[in-house]
Chain A
Amino acid sequence: MNCLEARFSKNLSGFSLNVSIELGEEIAALFGPSGAGKSLTLRILAGLDRPKEGKIVLNGRVLYDSASSVFVKACQRRVGLVFQELALFPHMTALENVAYGIKGPNKWEIAKQWLDKVKLEGLYDRMPNQLSGGQRQRVALARALAPKPDLLLLDEPFSALDGPMRRALRRELKRLSLESRTPTLYVTHDIEDVCSLASKVFLIRDGTTLATIDVSKLWNPDTQESIWHSLGWGTLIRGKITEEDGNLYFKWDKGRLKVSCSRNLVGEASVFIHPNHVKLLYPDVPVAPELEANIMEGKVIEKIAINGSVRLYIKSSGIEWHAEYPGDSYLTLEIKDGQDVLFSIEPSKISVLSPCDNSVN
């Protein structure tokens, strides 16, 4: 049974949002490139932005309906939101932050229990600026869950964290969300976040939700074909992982990449390369050590400037590579269509995905 049914649209100058989301008691990801409308979707669901038309129903409660002019304010929606920048109240302690949304006489006890649940026992009196990035993230998560929301929304919850912390927090979020049986929707542009946490993924691009996919079927060849083509973003290659001289390589028919992953992934696999991790190289500048392993030559097929970013489509080794970088980077390379370029990918930035990888790693 669906807890959340949302269909809405909104027009902004040069951008229109058309979203359709159905969510049960589960964790789902809203996945898409920068500027796709992911954060705006969350803001509309939370009641911080008003769509132009549509309907949002949460647990049978109509939160928004353009036909009958219903708009429930954010403060009455019971929708928890973890902001990308966390938005912890800087003048309050961790405990005060978590207790903020709890009503009733036992609020301090409940807030302490939540801080204990996110493994922050004894840090009740710390101010946000006295906590590490991961601890702040946990406080934000506890604060959003403590008032028992009907829906939990998270905007790029792991973007500021490094590998081990990111994995630990994914586990944390999965546990808390399932324990509290709160339908959870989180925004990400990292395929690892999708595979390791969500049971369902909504693909969004240029403001439109293109498809809803069961994550266990995400890497089925049939699904891949339609999804990655429709998403048209990121580089996905199928091949196999081999071990040579103690190093791991991902090989396909026309090339290979050095990768950094677990040895038990040797065999058939797919890799996904985030467009931001495809780095262009300057021909006359020494290459950074982490980029030396995977240097490739390619030809720019198309260059598109969008929302302050530049997207490049590069043909190399039989693959169409997608690169994305801020509009003010690589200006001296004067990139244009048809130009030959050198590029590389850091091995640790290559996501290696075994078929149907849906485990928490």
Chain B
Amino acid sequence: MTSSLIISLKVLAIDVPLLLIIGVTLGWILAKTEFRGKDLVDVLVILPIALPPSVLGLYLLMTLSHIPFVREAEILFSFPAAALAPLFPSLPIMIQAARSGFSSVDRQLEQAARTLGDSEFKIFWRITFPLSRLSIMAGLALASMRALGDFGVTLMIAGNIPGRTQTLPLFIYSNVEAMNFFEANIAALLLTAVGIISLLVVKKLEGKRIELS
């Protein structure tokens, strides 16, 4: 179980910063800009939530296997694939949270900052981001939990290779299959505890957000 736990933690260490950077960027674009085809982008961004993980995994497998670089670097069914896989089902959660956080910032505050001489970049860091950070942190906690618990997409593009791509959810699956319920229960308990802690953090952040508004 230790190696699965380490792999899961390594996946989280890679995915959390990526979730934050990609989620905040796309969330800001969707909340604050208008462009042609925005509705389509909107649907594509949320689609991974609506698709069964096996279908999403299959699409990724088919797409990635046709990219020469991915093939040559043997990324599929290796640790990089295990790190990449959970991003797809968890990113929509992060993007939606960031988007709703940015949308909830009163436009007049940004306009006031504009009349006080700030550029758009400065307004983002001084007004928009600080005022939506609680939503973003809550979204990050939920998206991270979703990434930690990913099973279907990881199985489809990274496989279930102990010591290389076997994360905690895959470890549970393998142990249940082998009728080894004790180890499976321990791992399940660990994931449950992390889930409860994350939800408590989200609840606290939500409470603070309501208090501030």
Binding site for B on A (CB under 8 A): 46-48, 73-81, 83, 85, 87, 89-91, 100-101, 103, 143-144, 147
Q: Name, among B112, B113, B114, B131, the residue most crowded by chain A CB atoms within 10 Å (CB to CB).
A: B112
| Cβ A91 vs Cβ B108 within 8 A | no
B127 close to A (CB within 8 Å): yes
Interface size counted on chain B using CB atoms at 8 A: 18
Task: Check if A91 sits within 8 Å of B116, measured CB to CB.
Answer: no
For B116, give the chain A residue with the smallest CB separation: A101
A87 and B109 contact, CB distance less than 8 A: yes
Bound: A77/B114 CA distance, A: 10
Supposing A87-B108, A90-B212 touch, asked if A79 and B115 sit within 8 A by C-beta, the answer is yes
The main secondary structure of chain B at its interface with chain A is helix
Distance in Å: Cβ of B107 to nearest Cβ of chain A: 9
Chain A residue at smallest Cβ distance from B212: A90
Contacts of B25 in A (CB 8 A): none
| B63 close to A (CB within 8 Å) | no
At the interface, yes or no: B33 with Cβ under 8 Å from chain A? Answer: no
Cα A85 to Cα B116 with chains together (Å):
16
Interface residues, chain B, CB within 8 Å of chain A? Answer: 106, 108-109, 111-119, 126-127, 130-131, 212-213
Return the 6 tightest CB-CB contacts between A and B, nearest first: A101-B116, A87-B112, A87-B108, A74-B114, A81-B115, A75-B114
Minimum Cβ distance to chain B for residue A114 (Å): 13
Q: B106: nearest residue on chain A (CB-CB)?
A: A87
Known: A89-B127, A91-B130. A48 touches B116 (CB 8 A): no
Q: Check A101 against B108 for contact (C-beta < 8 Å).
A: no
Distance in angstroms between the alpha carbons of A144 and B108 in the assembled complex: 14
Known: A48-B111, A101-B118. 9 other contacts (CB 8 A): A46-B115, A48-B115, A81-B115, A83-B108, A87-B106, A100-B116, A100-B126, A144-B116, A147-B116
Name which residue of chain B comes closest to A78, CB basis. Answer: B117
- Shortest CB-to-CB span from A204 to chain B, Å, is 21
Assembled-state Cα–Cα distance A73/B108 (Å): 16
A47, A73, A76, A81: which contacts B112 (Cβ < 8 A)?
Answer: A81
Contact: A85 with B114, CB < 8 Å? no
Contact indicator B131/A90 (Cβ below 8 Å)? yes
Whole-angstrom CA separation of A190 from B147 in the bound complex: 58
Shortest distance from the beta carbon of A101 to any chain B beta carbon, whole Å = 3
Q: Are A74 and B111 in contact (CB under 8 A)?
A: yes
Q: Among the listed A74, A89, A90, which residue makes an inter-chain contact with B115, where contact means beta carbons less than 8 Å apart?
A: A74
> Do residues A147 and B117 form an inter-chain contact, with CB atoms below 8 A?
yes
Give Cα A89 to B113, complex, Å: 9
How far is the CB of A334 from the nearest CB of chain B, in Å? 38
Residues in B whose Cβ lies below 8 Å from that of A47? 114-115
Which of B106, B109, B111, B117 gathers most chain A CB within 10 Å?
B117
Known: A89-B127, A90-B131. A75 touches B109 (CB 8 A): no
Asked if residues A103 and B130 are in contact (CB atoms below 8 Å), the reply is: no
Q: Which residue of A lies closest to B109 (CB)?
A: A87
19 contacts between A and B (CB under 8 A): A48-B111, A73-B114, A74-B111, A74-B114, A75-B116, A75-B118, A77-B115, A78-B117, A80-B115, A81-B111, A81-B112, A83-B108, A83-B111, A91-B130, A100-B113, A100-B116, A100-B126, A101-B115, A101-B117
Q: A75-B117, A103-B117 are in contact. Are A87 and B127 (CB under 8 A)?
A: no
Nearest neighbor of A103 in chain B, beta-carbon distance: B117
Residue of B nearest to A83 (CB): B108
